[in-house]
Amino acid sequence: MTEQPMRVVIAEDHYLVREGTRRLLEDTGDVAVVSAVGDAAELLAAVEELRPEAVIADIRMPPGHHTEGIAAAHAIRAGHPGIGVVMLSQHADENYAFDLFQRGTDGLAYLLKERIG
């Protein structure tokens, strides 16, 4: 029996990072990127429509470029506790990690963009 690839949604406002991440993941053969979006609102809509197994999202996204990704992660985990969320950051910032993990760590991860490969 062949195992199905993990269904993932990527949310990243920088096109090259988003598409590069998609390519790295899909080239493994273990991941199917079912949607790649540029902001938190599109992320939440894609999760509702597609029900992926995991989400990979930037912490800072439009419209405000603050912590929209973290807010989306909390909303996803609250509404869909079976969906894992990996937050991407270009900074090793303890404040972002604290904001992400303040409600618990189950199903959440924090990854520096430089470590994606």
φ/ψ of 72, rounded to 5, equals -65, -40
pLDDT tens, position by position, 50-107: 999 999 999 999 888 889 999 999 999 999 999 999 999 887 888 999 999 998 999 9
Please check the confidence at residue 1 and state whether its pLDDT lies above 70.
no
Please check the confidence at residue 112 and state whether its pLDDT lies above 60.
yes
> What is the rounded (10 degree) CA torsion for 39, 44, 48, 50?
30
* Percent of the chain whose pLDDT exceeds 70: 97
Tokens of 80: 């869909």
Residue 45 DSSP class: H
Q: What b-and-e string marks burial along 42-76, b requiring 16 or more CB atoms within 10 Å of the CB? A: bbbebbeeeebbbbbbbbbbeeeeebbbbebbbeb
